Structure 1
Amino acid sequence: MMTPMANSSPRQWKDIAWLTALGSAGILLLSVGLNYLLLFSEALAPFGRSMVTAILLPVIVGGPLFLFIGLQRTELVRYRRELNKSATFDSLTGCLNRTVFTSMVERRATRPESSGPRSGAFLVIHPEHIRSINLRFGLGWGDEALRLIASTIQSSVRKEDLVGRIGTSMFGVFLPGATEDDAREIGDRIRARVAQAYFAPKGTADTLTISVGGVVFENELEFEDMFRSAESLLSGVGRQPGFQLSHLHN
């Protein structure tokens, strides 16, 4: 892994060298000037003048320097936190992005041979009429509809469940350990809450609807198998608001 210093360009190194030289020259001039002024002070003994120099210079130089370093360190931590967040979460909806969501589902849905069978459910959620909303009210309101649907999904699942944005207008929900009854209850709850969500683009009340396809499994299962099986059920509801759930025997 390349370090930031190794990636610095010759121009950046030149700027660093100039800053170092000017900073050192400034501190040197400050030290010489202070000692010169104190040399002619009759109010202080030689020991007192040396103590003033020893205390004052670190305060004048070290205080601003360490304040600057501290602020830069805080900014770097914030930047890294935002970078990690942007690499993990979808910027529009706040859900896990597809790459991270897929990886986390794969880890939870697969098992070592000694750990026993894994069970759970996987839901694919497709918001309806997003294209119509975009055409009627503009892309901004389409994005707002997706954000509202995403937040409703997140508030409707359990703490241990995973929610990811896996397509332009498609969400995935992984329910570890869920039974068929659990999956059906959660899917119905998501659909009901999305339909009840207040959405009024340009002051015109509109109802948001979703289609849900889901599979329940009892053994180790790859993400793509879960996704294909759940997505195929969406065509079973004709891309109309509905909920289809099947039990996948693997």
Structure 2
Amino acid sequence: MVTTARAWKGVAWLTFLGTAGILALSVGLNYLLLFSQVLTPFGRSMVTAILLPVVLGVPFFLFIGLKQMEVRRYRRELDKSATFDALTGCLNGAVFTSMVERRTARPSASGPRSGAFLVIHPEHLRSINLRFGLEWGDEALRLIASTIRSSVRAEDLVGRMGTSMFGVFLSGATEAEAKEIGERIRMRVAQVYFAPKGMEDALTIKVGGVVFETEVEFADMFRSAEQRISGAQDGAAFELTHLHS
């Protein structure tokens, strides 16, 4: 309430001062023109009619236009913050889930949908946080997310699932394509230069995935892909299976 009252007080003062300034300018201009020996009465009226709208209108409409640009920028930032994860730039969990569900829904006339779903889990993230601090753990997540996004196709979806897990939806991908993309992500992450506090450290991930050829629920895809991560032990960094309806 106090903040709102102060805001309205500022608006009131701006309105009062702006109106007073406009009145002073108008009266002063008309006073000067009244004693002009060069201009006829018609000329003085034309100067007033043209000059005042220009002097007053240009700053006013420029101000309004700048404010509209500012409002549009704020709206774009709000839309972006509601869609994308602020840390990694990936789709946030809720938006990612909704978009995947829409893409996997089977329209009545188009037949079954196919594709693949990958879950990517960074390894040793807790160790990075403990050894170097949370800011370096965040940097590791940003690097991994950037590598994932640069390794998938333009039509694929990448989302941050929870704190330290990523989901990748490969619409229409075959088993061979899913394996290729999953291995590409894993190898590129391993090649990322990561040197917290000047000490080079390796980034590694495990990838679990499922391929499907019929309409499936998001929860089933996620659970099955996550199970493949749990089953990836000792060097088996990428596990892929088929999901049947």
Does the TM-score normalized on the shorter chain lie above 0.5? Answer: yes
| 137, 143, 165: which one aligns with 1:142 | 137
The correspondence for 2:183, drawn from 181, 184, 188, is: 188
**Alignment partner of 1:81 is 2:76:** yes
Listed as ranges, the matches of 1:207-222 within 5 Å are: 207-222=202-217
CA drift at 1:22: 3.6
Q: 1:25 aligns with which of 10, 17, 20?
A: 20
- Cα distance between partner residues in 1 of 2:205 and 2:81: 27
Secondary structure of the 2:106 match is coil
**Which of 191, 195, 200 is residue 200 of structure 1 equivalent to?**
195
TM superposition score normalised by structure 2: 0.94
CA RMSD of aligned residues (A): 1.7
**Aligned-pair CA distance for 1:20:** 3.1
Q: Distance in 1 between matches of 2:230 and 2:16?
A: 69
* Distance (Å, rounded) in 2 between the aligned partners of 1:201 and 1:19: 51
* TM-score, normalization by structure 1: 0.92
| Structure 2 portions without partners, runs of 5+ | none
Distance 2:106 2:17 in 1: 60
Q: Is 1:128 equivalent to 2:131 in the alignment?
A: no
Question: C-alpha offsets along residues 2-46 of structure 1, whole Å, 9 cap, x if unaligned?
Answer: xxxxxx956655544443344233322221221111111112111
Equivalent-residue separation in structure 1 for 2:16 and 2:234 (angstroms): 68
Distance in 2, Cα, partners of 1:157 & 1:248: 21
Alignment match of 2:146 (pick from 145, 151, 169): 151
Q: Quote the Cα distance in structure 1 between the aligned partners of 2:178 and 2:146.
A: 18
Q: Aligned-pair distance for 1:199?
A: 0.9
Identity of aligned residues (%): 75
Matched residue count:
243
The equivalent position to 2:58 in structure 1, one of 63, 67, 82, is 63
Cα contact 1:128–1:240 (8 A) shared by 2: no
Counterparts of residues 38-117 of structure 1 (less than 5 Å) = 38-117=33-112
Shifted more, 16-25 versus 151-160: the winner is 16-25
| CA shift in 2, pair 1:241/1:56, >3 Å | farther
- Counterpart for residue 219 of structure 2: 224
Match of 1:177 among 166, 172, 185: 172
Question: Does 2:113 align with 1:118?
Answer: yes
Question: Matched residues in 2 for 1:185 and 1:41: separation?
Answer: 85
5+ residue gaps, structure 1: 1-7
Mapped partners of 1:42, 1:128: distance in 2: 87
Letter in 1 for 2:73: R
Q: CA deviation at 1:155?
A: 0.7
